Chain A
């Protein structure tokens, strides 16, 4: 049973399109995160939710909108995709605060052409 699962694993789309990435965790964790990993492997936080409530919203363009229907799910919707959005997007979860450690999902490789 996968602890943190993301879909899809790969996503290739044209500039200007809108796409969504889904994340689900079955660990019973309270907090979920989205990170972006660029081509240089740098992991940068985008958002975090605790029990469906937005806690962190880093300086991310408004085209990115997270949604958490319940504490086990955190989805990421991206409008008007740009070439620079190409990256691997990782979902993660933790029990309570970040200092309990993260469990990462398997990642979604987004390629914008």
Chain B
């Protein structure tokens, strides 16, 4: 079955810097790759997603890239702000479920 690895597990940046989180997946049948943000004590919320027929997608300060050949995808956050501090999860969907990565705790220091 699908296995999703996520790195790093923690990431600390200064406000205004960029943050990059990387994920790899194992099942070449996976065709949908969402990213979720989970603030402390809250539910995971979808922030951006990408499908296997697209290489890159951007939404304001966040962007996601996908390399199907290498089976990896990344989340890029530019001009980070303290409110970006949260746990971020990548996920992959081979068919009927989302398989999540282990999460990255991002801390943005003012």
Contact in complex: B34, A33 (CB < 8 Å): no
CB 8 Å contact bits of A49-91 with B (1 = contact, 0 = none) = 0000001100000000000000000000000000000000010
Q: Contacts A98-B32, A101-B49 known; A45 to B43 CB distance under 8 Å?
A: no
Contact in complex: B98, A98 (CB < 8 Å): yes
| In-complex Cβ contact of A43 among B42, B44, B45, B95 (8 A) | B44
Count B interface residues, CB 8 Å.
23
Question: In the assembled complex, how far is the CB of residue B40 from the closest CB belonging to chain A, in whole angstroms?
Answer: 11
Q: Which of B29-44 contact A (CB under 8 A)?
A: 31-32, 34, 38, 42-44
Which chain A residues border B93 with CB–CB below 8 Å?
A: 97-99
Binding site for A on B (CB under 8 A): 31-32, 34, 38, 42-46, 49, 51, 87, 89, 93, 95-100, 102-103, 105
Measured CB to CB, the nearest residue on chain A to B104 is A41
Contact in complex: A48, B97 (CB < 8 Å): yes
Contact in complex: A45, B32 (CB < 8 Å): no
Measured CB to CB, the nearest residue on chain A to B34 is A101
Q: In the complex the two chains form, what is the Cα distance from A61 to B2 in whole Å?
A: 21
Measured CB to CB, the nearest residue on chain B to A109 is B41
Contact in complex: A41, B46 (CB < 8 Å): no
Q: Contacts A97-B95, A104-B43 known; A42 to B49 CB distance under 8 Å?
A: no
Contact in complex: A106, B96 (CB < 8 Å): no
Pick the most buried of B49, B51, B98: most chain A CB atoms within 10 A of its CB.
Answer: B98
Question: In the assembled complex, how far is the CB of residue B46 from the closest CB belonging to chain A, in whole angstroms?
Answer: 5
